[in-house]
Structure 1
Amino acid sequence: MALWLESKPVRLTNITDKLNNINSEDELQVVIRAAYRQVLGNAHVMDSQRLTEAESQLRDGRTSVADFVRAIGQSELYRTMFFENSSAYRFVELNFKHFLGRAPQNQTEVAEHMATYHTKGYEAEIDSYIDSDEYKEAFGDDTVPYIRGNASQPGISNVSFNRTFAIARGDASSDISNVAKLIRDIAGNIPTKIVPPAQSLSGTGNRAKRYRLTVAGAQAGPRVTRVSRTKVFEVSYDQLSRRLQDIQKSGGQVVSINEVS
């Protein structure tokens, strides 16, 4: 059984109707379907959920593929699916997948986007991917984002392969889960293991476990044991995401995360 389904670029090549100056409808529908599939994580889109105005603007050349992708990301549908019902870590993790085609490489990248959301808001967080140099170099104005973390990329660490694999398991997979897949590995700067599709990197087995976080520079709080200039927290899996967010907000840096039980 294949563990990875390779994604390929889908682009609008500006084939036009010479009389009406509109994009070829067949080509347009391929692009629209690819954009919905990529940005919405393989979710089924009902006719009532489609962004008809944005599609119309793409059809008659008033907007680019990049701005159509932006419209999906800024839509109430995307917000409901991936922001309102997910942790902030999962939201950022999926934004990397949906808009850049890869997983976040390290805690610095995650922290930067968490800061963008907290200081500038939801729309600025979505824009930060599409307006980035990386997006422009990888996809430009006319190519739908696609999963590319499974191959070497200029300026992208090789650790991105395993991490992208953990959050993108091919066209049959879905992003419906609201549980972040990479919190422990990225925060602890440890390698991400590749597991068979039947298993999960953050499945029910982990929920019964507890984790010890060693943190540098964070403000003191309840249940904190001082170790020289660091602090140690013990949390359950369900508390892990919230605790990591609190550490970031307080200016702390995660030194290590170790499984306790």
Structure 2
Amino acid sequence: MTSLMTAQRLGIEPFAQSASVELFPNEKGAEVEVIIRAIYRQVLGNAHVMESERLVVAESQLKQGNISVREFVRQLGKSELYRSRFFDNCPRYRAIELNFKHFLGRAPESYEEMTAHSALLDQSGYEAEIDSYLDSDEYQQNFGENIVPHYRGFATEGNNKMVGFSRIFQLYRGYANSDKAQIGNGKQARLNREVIQNTVSPIYIGSTGNAIAGTSGGSRGQFYRLRVIQAPKLTRTPQYRVSNLEYLVPYEQLSWKLQQINRQGGKVTSITPA
């Protein structure tokens, strides 16, 4: 997980310090209320929900154990509350990138992903678009039936493209901001240029809005310090060590090194100019 100092600087401290929120069997009352609040916060992009807007029937079904967290997320995603905020009032590609953020906890990784979801909307409609995230193998592998979706893009993961590590910061603007406040008034998708050109996005500091030097273009000859958590392969020995590594990499080799770390199963916790 991202180091505390880096997390504070980037505005992701709440996610760096918190564990996944999961609904366990036989939980009731206040415990389920915590789950419900976490679902609203994630799926509605940290926007405030009035009492009159809450999904009373779905909440009751979840409390009684009749539906899973995944099905509650599905009902919320298909609700008029979600659609009115993040689809009817959004340019199409902005709506799609928000769906990736809210339901899969990451940014789109390619233009092909964006166009595939746009085609699905044309062919099968809005509800099929929501189902495509909830019924995906990716959702099941990361959240299953009872883990509340959460932002995964702040740490690198195996089998995911490295561009997602930087692009999530384009979509996440700090814990105090809401996605509802970032839509409307003709605002376009934030990642259009990056996904079309297949380029890395700048990483912005949440508290200031300033880009970290070098993340979008970089200067030739600039070196970067990568801090990495590298889990070794399992052995027959009883000890299992996780090694903390640090690399000093020139800008020209940065992309290649990040891909190598990803292939080897490492997780990048910070990238800073040396």
TM superposition score normalised by structure 2: 0.68
- Corresponding residue of 2:20: 9
Identify the match of residue 145 of structure 1 among 143, 149, 152. Answer: 149
- Opposite residue 11 of structure 2, the aligned amino acid is W
Q: Counterparts of 2:36 and 2:175 in 1: how far apart (Å)?
A: 16
Paired residues for 1:147-166 under 5 Å: 147-166=151-170
Matched, 1:181 2:185: no
Larger deviation, residues 48-57 vs 176-185? 176-185
Deviation at 1:172, TM superposition (A): 1.2
Taking only the aligned residue pairs, the percentage that are identical comes to 48
Q: Counterparts of 1:166 and 1:31 in 2: how far apart (Å)?
A: 26
- Corresponding residue of 2:60: 56
- Corresponding residue of 1:237: none
Q: Counterparts of 1:195 and 1:151 in 2: how far apart (Å)?
A: 15
SS at match of 2:9: coil
Matched, 1:95 2:93: no
Matched, 1:191 2:186: no
Q: Counterparts of 1:153 and 1:199 in 2: how far apart (Å)?
A: 25
Deviation at 1:67, TM superposition (A): 0.4
Which deviations, in whole Å up to 9, do the C-alpha atoms of 1:106-136 show, x marking residues without a partner?
Answer: 1011111111111100000000000000000
TM superposition score normalised by structure 1: 0.71
Which deviations, in whole Å up to 9, do the C-alpha atoms of 1:40-66 show, x marking residues without a partner?
Answer: 000000000000000000011110000
Q: Counterparts of 2:140 and 2:173 in 1: how far apart (Å)?
A: 25
- Corresponding residue of 2:82: 78
Deviation at 1:152, TM superposition (A): 1.7
Q: Counterparts of 1:152 and 1:199 in 2: how far apart (Å)?
A: 22
Matched, 1:170 2:174: yes
- Corresponding residue of 2:40: 36
Residues 200 and 41 of structure 1, relative CA distance in 2, 3 Å threshold: farther
- Verify the 8 A CA contact 2:10 2:205 in the aligned structure 1: yes
Unaligned runs of 5+ in 1: 17-22, 202-261
- Verify the 8 A CA contact 2:11 2:205 in the aligned structure 1: no
Matched, 1:132 2:141: no
- Verify the 8 A CA contact 2:110 2:198 in the aligned structure 1: yes
Q: Counterparts of 1:200 and 1:50 in 2: how far apart (Å)?
A: 36
- Verify the 8 A CA contact 2:169 2:204 in the aligned structure 1: no
Relative CO higher for 1 or 2, CA cutoff 8 Å, sep ≥ 6? Answer: 2
Unaligned runs of 5+ in 2: 1-7, 212-274
Which deviations, in whole Å up to 9, do the C-alpha atoms of 1:160-200 show, x marking residues without a partner?
Answer: 01101110133212112223111111111111011334448
Give the count of matched residue pairs.
194
- Verify the 8 A CA contact 1:104 1:110 in the aligned structure 2: yes
SS at match of 1:169: coil
Q: Counterparts of 1:200 and 1:34 in 2: how far apart (Å)?
A: 29
Q: 4+ runs of 1 displaced by more than 4 Å?
A: none
- Verify the 8 A CA contact 2:40 2:46 in the aligned structure 1: yes
- Verify the 8 A CA contact 1:4 1:165 in the aligned structure 2: no
